[in-house]
Structure 1
Amino acid sequence: MTDGFDFRPGAQIPLTGADGETGATQALASAAYRDSELTALVGVNDAAKVTAPRLSLFRPNLGEAFSRSVQVRMLGAARKELVQSFGVEPQTVVEHCLAANRLRQERDARLTGLMAGFGLLFLPGVLVWLGAFQLRSSLATLKSRGNKAGGLGAIVLAVAVAFTVLLAVRPPFHGFWSLYFRVLMIAPIIGWYWAKRICEASAKDLRARWAGLVAGTGVGAKIPEAVPRNPNETRAENLRKSLVKLSAEQNSNVVFYAGPRGILGMGSRWGSWHMAEELTPREGLAEINPFRSWDVVRAIHDKLRMIERGPLHTGGFPKPSIRHWVVVPTGEGVSKIVRPTGPEVETYSVKDFEIQRMCNDQQFGKGNRHYLGIQFVLWDGNLVITLMVTVTVLAQTLRVEVTGHALGPVDGLFTTAPAAKEKTVSKPVRFWETKTVSLPLIDTNEVVRLAARAPLTWFPPVLDYLGGSLKLPEPFGLRHTWADKPWKHRFMADDALRAATPVLRAVHAAAIQVMRENGVDVSHFTNRSLVLSGLVQGVEPRKADAYDA
């Protein structure tokens, strides 16, 4: 028995992985390995919320929070529907999140062993050190908010060091307990040194993967936990099925129109062109030969398939993706999307016969609508240009509408490479000269944070409660959530504007050809097409869905 999303016997055809999507995919995947502050993500999208930590010692960094949030949101058993990520392979990003989590779990397993050895045997000393670092972190937070608490953090550590020296020199007891209290505060320092070496080795590995993905030379993610070795490994089997579901949802032909936000995953509508004229018979004919909207759409589809071919050998369009879409209306501020269900839907996609019926009959009143879309994925997936075509016939008026949507590059946060840990200082003798000094890859505070979090990584809800977590914006999609506007990049803006004119002309030519073959007087349509062809050459991006241009 199957739920419709599992693999079928025989050769399998990948559902995703179009050419030119590697840049944006690897940029987003690099976030899983980053060690920067989590608050940077909030600056990219204000809808992303970070739960404040109850104990700052357990707070996650960007990579830890991003990996866990994406894994739960996209593979969780109770997850909501996802928005398609055009220009990105979401399964690859999720696989890197799983791989990053596995690398951290391997590190945390070793740190947990250290904490079990030093933490349980010398628990009072470990608690004193953790309390000192927690208090120091809290005072640093107060300082960042403008309070004068900066010097107190150094005093806290100085008191802890003085207490360590006092116990080592003058222990309060005799015999065995005298020796125990001598090393009570020193043993955690030895454990810290050992933990630092573990953390540095892990940080080098994670940063190498981060740098490789940003540079485009990163290796693929390895997730052996998603490959069941026997029928009893239900966890691996469920993970494998979740990845298959993710690919099926990415390949869905259903998209959602969220008002001024445009089509989720495709970007807001920046331009719209309409050709609407009356259907009248050609001179000498009593009436036109009846035809349907689907006949016009099919002709437009065939014409757009030839758009990459031109009379001159000057490059031109790359091979586009041409698909029939079912567009579902939804509100601008909705927290979730609901995909259509029923006998006409299979693996998140509406079947062809229902799409044809929708194109012919569902043009006015309630219900979903049919659109024919031509999509260009450019700049290694950082620019997604989509032009949507819809054909309606109401009374004697045939209307052909073309709308332009553009999704810009992923935010620059995801394309930054790891910076070297170093600082520039003055030379001790020649003070007018400077030199660059390398800093430790992992400082003391980071080692303490990772060691304190390690035992709790086996209990993620507890760790989220104490250290806070990242709440992703809804409706969530990997691509549009972190996308920037394409109009800030001159050449990306040019590509979006240039694509509209030839597509519009191809659509009009195909529609007029169908009408001419069926005895329609096309003179009005031809004149209107020429007017639009002139207007589109001078069009500038504007907020078409806001109706304020």
Structure 2
Amino acid sequence: MTTMDGFDFSPGAQVPIAGGAGQTAATQALASAAYRDSPLSDISKADSDTAKSDIKKPKLSLFEPNLGEAFSRAVQVRMLGGGRKALIQSFGIEPQTVVEHCLAASRIRKERDTKLTILMVVFGLLFLPGVLLWLGLFQLKRMLDKATTKGRSALGTVLLVALAGIILIFLIKLPLDSFWMIYVRLMLIAPVIGWWWAKRICERTAVDLRESWSGILGGGGIGAKIPEAVPQDPTQTAAEQLRQNLAKLSAEQNSNVVFYAGPKGILGMGTRWGSWQLAEELRPAEEGAEIHPFRSWDVIRVIHDRLKLLERSPLHTGGFGQPPSVRHWIVVPVAEGADSVARPEGTDTDAYQIRPHEIERICNEQQFGAGNRHYLGVQFVLWDGQLVLTLLITVTVLHETLRIEVTGHALGPVNGLFLGKPSPKTVTVNKTVKFWETKTSTLPLIDTAEVVRLAARAPLTWFPPVLDFLGGKLALPEPFGLRHVWADKPWRHRFMADDALRAATPVLRVVHSAAMSVLQENGVDITRFDNRSLVLSGAVQDPTPRKADSYDA
């Protein structure tokens, strides 16, 4: 039995493979990013309003990673690294599936980089001056390609053609009367031979990556192949460590602790778009009588039981379809600009879960002043994980006033950047004779510059910190959670907005009905509560979502 940070993992456990219930649209979209070959700068287009990615600029653009390479490494380090900070839950997706695909994509690239490293050793060490010369030319070309003015770009093209011409003349005029003269010729020709071989390796890998990219978005249930995460014997400590980190990730995903960050809302659940409050004085139903003592937890428990029956309907209609998740949450306040969060620890926690007796205590006692708060949550995961609706209920009793508050949170779909399938690389040019017409030609998946970039990076992939320093990297926004970082607003999608507004009304009415039954059983006059409930039932039908966390004060 292996124990780590309070978690017990049996040695024979297997890493679950992507598929089945975890294959939602949002999960597939984010997992597909690991296989993409688009520019890294595209990731900034997908950032949400409350979380922005940071792209560390490369020292040498020749070592710059593409989107798939940078995304896979950043996610692996952030979610599986030994000294990682706490993660924000990713509601509506399976984060372990995304991480597994990042590992699988890195494995495919690692196999390619191993072959390219061998080529670089053979052609690089034996003919090092020639390789450095060619790499220098391509680095110069990449720098000039990024020129903003046409004059500089034209100058760069002329300069590169002139340098290539000088090399060609040098090869023709060079005598063959000594070993070093022959070596100089080979020094300039051998890298070209190595490039041709490397191109074939890179093309095969590009096809494999694009097939995985297309397959996962097509819903084919493409599983992530990561045999290195399944230890075969006790000596494979790295595999065991990876398996435990994946299990730890799943445990943190199932935590019942969330973090409230001011106008950013509850991290992972989205901003608060609506709030409805019922607050009235507790008076005995009969004059001269007394109210039977009860606590907030007594009300919450009945509300919880009633919300479990939400999927039932007196009419034979589709209704909610899949029943919502009803769960107790502990909400921890953090600063709006906090770059990290800390999950509660101690005897009242177990595997990132607050124990039931502590949940009940917080519900009854921590209603005013500093401390964490208790909420009962009703969560709908709709549109294959693209829309997450969460309605949170809290009950507080201060002096003789009972307050029941329902707040609505909405997390929108994954940005459209992650939904695009791979398409052939094409170029449109004018025809030679009929110059007023155009034609579209298909380009190879891997061009000359890309082969050089991959070959130059390959030896450094064995030294990731060095590669990050030279080529730059993707710095994920903190506090980090896979789902909320790249989520769009749901209000731009008419049907998603309708679903958010429709879900609030039945939940609010069930909450009020359950609360009234508890009050009536304990001898409370519910006349005022009933009147207030009717007013709220009308207010909840307002079709306009608001920024409930942004106070105009």
TM-score normalised by length of structure 1: 0.96
Which one of 440, 444, 454 corresponds to residue 440 of structure 1? 444
Equivalence map 1:301-320=2 (5 Å) = 301-317=304-320, 318-320=322-324
Structure 2 letter corresponding to 1:84: Q
CA–CA distance in 2 between the matches of 1:166 and 1:139? 24
Q: Could you tell me which of 460, 464, 467 is aligned with 1:460?
A: 464
**Residue in structure 2 matching 1:64, options 54, 65, 69:** 69
Match of 2:224 among 221, 225, 229: 221
Cα displacement (A) at 1:17 = 9.1
Give the match for residue 163 of structure 1.
166
Find the residue that maps to 1:385 and give its secondary structure: strand
CA contact (8 A) 2:376 2:393 kept: yes
Moved more, 505-514 or 360-369: 360-369
**Which residue is equivalent to 1:97?**
102
Q: SS of the counterpart of 1:546? A: coil
Equivalence for 2:420: 416
1:138 counterpart residue number: 143
Asked whether the 8 Å contact 1:5–1:248 carries over to 2, the reply is no
Asked whether the equivalents of residues 390 and 402 of structure 1 are also in contact (C-alpha less than 8 Å), the reply is yes
**Of 505, 522, 542, the match for 1:538:** 542
| Matches for 1:167-206 after TM superposition, within 5 Å | 167-171=170-174, 174-206=177-209
1:98 aligned partner, one-letter code: L
The code of the aligned residue for 1:159 comes to A
Of 40, 43, 49, the residue aligned with 2:45 is 43
User: How far off its partner does 1:284 sit?
Assistant: 5.2
Give the counterpart letter for 1:68 in structure 2: R
Give 1:539 deviation, angstroms. 4.3
Q: How far is 1:312 from its partner? A: 1.1
Distance change >3 Å, CA 35–CA 9, structure 1 → 2: closer
Give the SS at the match of 1:169.
Answer: helix
* Residue 263 (str. 1) matches residue 266 (str. 2): yes
Q: Please point out which of 398, 402, 410 is paired with 1:398.
A: 402
Q: 1:374 to 1:357 in 2, by over 3 A?
A: same
Superposed displacement of residue 7, structure 1: 2.6
**SS of match in other structure, 2:68:** helix
State the distance in 2 between where 1:48 and 1:76 align: 19
CA 1:316–1:251 in structure 2 vs 1: closer, same or farther (change >3 Å)? same
2:462 aligned with 1:473, yes or no?
no
What SS does the corresponding residue of 1:545 show, helix, strand or coil?
Answer: coil
**Residue 188 of structure 1 aligns to which amino acid in structure 2?**
P
**Paired position in structure 2 for 1:2:** 3
Alignment partner of 1:273: what SS?
Answer: strand
**Equivalent residue letter for 2:308:** R
Alignment correspondent of 1:342: 346
> Aligned partner of 1:338: which letter?
A
Query: Counterpart in 1 of 2:386?
Result: 382
Displacement of 1:285 after TM fit?
5.7
Paired with 1:441 and 1:329, the residues of 2 have a C-alpha distance of: 49
Stretches of structure 2 that go unaligned for 5 or more consecutive residues are none
Q: Aligned partners of 1:430, 1:59: CA distance in 2, in Å?
A: 40
Structure 1 residue 178: deviation in Å? 2.5
- CA 1:441–1:426: 2 relative to 1, 3 Å: same
How far apart are 1:114 and its partner, in Å? 0.8
User: Quick one: distance in 2 between partners of 1:382 and 1:279?
Assistant: 42
Alpha-carbon distance between aligned partners in 1 of 2:232 and 2:533, rounded to the nearest angstrom: 61
Q: Deviations over 1:490-536 (max 9, x none)?
A: 11000000000000000000000111111111011000000000111
Residue 30 (1) aligns with residue 32 (2): yes
Aligned match for 2:295, one of 283, 292, 295: 292
Letter of the 1:53 partner, please give it. Answer: P
CA contact (8 A) 2:15 2:243 kept: no
Measure, in 2, the Cα distance between the counterparts of 1:321 and 1:496. 15
CA drift of 1:123 comes to 1.0
- Paired position in structure 2 for 1:512: 516
Deviation at 1:173, TM superposition (A): 5.9
- Indicate conservation of the 8 Å contact 1:137/1:153, yes or no: no
Q: State the 1:148 CA deviation.
A: 3.4
1:355 aligns with 2:359: yes
Greater shift, 539-548 or 500-509, is seen at 539-548
AA at the equivalent of 1:320: P
Quick check: 1:387–1:402 contact (8 Å CA) kept in 2?
yes
- 1:460 is matched by which residue type in structure 2? P
1:332 paired with 2:333, answer: no
Deviation of 1:57 after TM superposition, in Å, equals 0.3
Give the match for residue 278 of structure 1.
281
Shift of 1:204: 0.8
1:39 is paired with a residue whose SS is: helix
1:490 aligns with 2:494: yes
User: Following TM superposition, by how much is the alpha carbon of 1:177 offset from its aligned partner in structure 2, in angstroms?
Assistant: 2.1
Mapping for residues 99-138 of structure 1, pairs under 5 Å:
99-138=104-143
Alignment root-mean-square deviation, CA: 2.0
In 1, distance between residues paired with 2:58 and 2:300? Answer: 54
For residues 153-195 of structure 1, what are the alpha-carbon distances to aligned partners after superposition, in whole Å with 9 as ceiling and x for unaligned?
3234323422332233122562222222222211111111111
User: Quick one: distance in 1 between partners of 2:305 and 2:451?
Assistant: 61
Q: Which amino acid aligns with 1:443?
A: D
SS of residue matched to 1:281: coil
Secondary structure of the structure 2 residue equivalent to 1:470: strand
1:547 maps to 551
Q: Could you say which residue in structure 2 is the equivalent of 1:451?
A: 455
